[in-house]
Amino acid sequence: MIALAGTIGAGKTSLTQLLADHLNSQAFYESVEGNKILPLFYKDPKKYGFLLQIYFLNKRLDEIKASYGNDLNVLDRSIFEDALLFKLNADMGRATETESDIYSSLLSNMMEELPDQVHQKAPNLLITIQVSFDTMLKRIKKRGRSYEQLANDPSLYSYYKNLNERYVNWYEQYDESPKMLIDGDKYDFVEDEQAAQQVLKMIDAKLAELNLK
């Protein structure tokens, strides 16, 4: 199992598809387009923040279970990122500390309930895509989801900036599995086919190093 990580607009979905096609494996995508709670969260984070995190937790556990059947399936977000996202919401007053603590406890308990002999909890490789704040904002604007746009809600600027900064520390501290970092500014695999091929070669080399390919 390979998991992608990175901030909003980093290119996780694009790299998930590229990698799954390259490895002839299955891609599992974060539930966004059909997520009815996400637009509500952007309108009223305090009211819907906890509900959104529980929704994502349930979906990610389903993905872990479903992805275990075949080698090198690719998940476009890691379950280990969720605590970072919800802690940020709590720190910004968009969720309460009590809700954050309850979520962290629930996540821990649910992960313990996954039997080790049946379901792999951590990925064989975590691939984090790191992009600059400017690139993040350009990608968010380009994909055009109305509820994500700064033009509709200028307060999102501080949220996005804080989120991008926290991902740097999160990657440094992550120790659940082998990991690698992709510079999404240097290698614009979303727009540049040559960059995409370079990234795939880098990932192939890492998989070979880990005896996964």
Which pLDDT does position 154 carry in this prediction?
Answer: 92
Q: Report d(CA 136, CA 52) in Å as an integer.
A: 22
The per-residue DSSP string of 133-201 comes to HHHHHHHHHHH--GGG-TTT-TTHHHHHHHHHHHHHHHHHH--SS-EEEEETTTS-TTT-HHHHHHHHH
Question: What is the arithmetic mean of pLDDT over 176-203?
Answer: 96
Which active-site residues does the annotation give?
Answer: 76
Q: Report d(CA 18, CA 27) in Å as an integer.
A: 9
Going from the N-terminus, what domains does the chain have, and what CATH number goes with each?
A: 2-209 (3.40.50.300)
Distances (CA, A) of 98 to 87, 103, 106: 11, 9, 12
pLDDT range class, residue 168, cuts 50, 70, 90: very high
Which pLDDT does position 96 carry in this prediction?
Answer: 86
Length of the chain: 213
- The token pair at 70 is 């075949």
Question: What is the arithmetic mean of pLDDT over 119-137?
Answer: 89
Indicate left, alpha or beta for 149 from its phi (over 0: left) and psi (-120 to 50: alpha).
beta
pLDDT over 70 (residue 31):
no
Which pLDDT does position 59 carry in this prediction?
Answer: 82
Percent of the chain residues past pLDDT 90, beyond the cut: 46
pLDDT, tens digit, 9 for 90 and up, residues 39-59: 898 889 889 989 988 888 888
Q: Report d(CA 198, CA 188) in Å as an integer.
A: 10
pLDDT over 90 (residue 15):
yes
Which pLDDT does position 64 carry in this prediction?
Answer: 74
Measured distance between the N- and C-terminal CA atoms of the chain, rounded to whole angstroms: 12
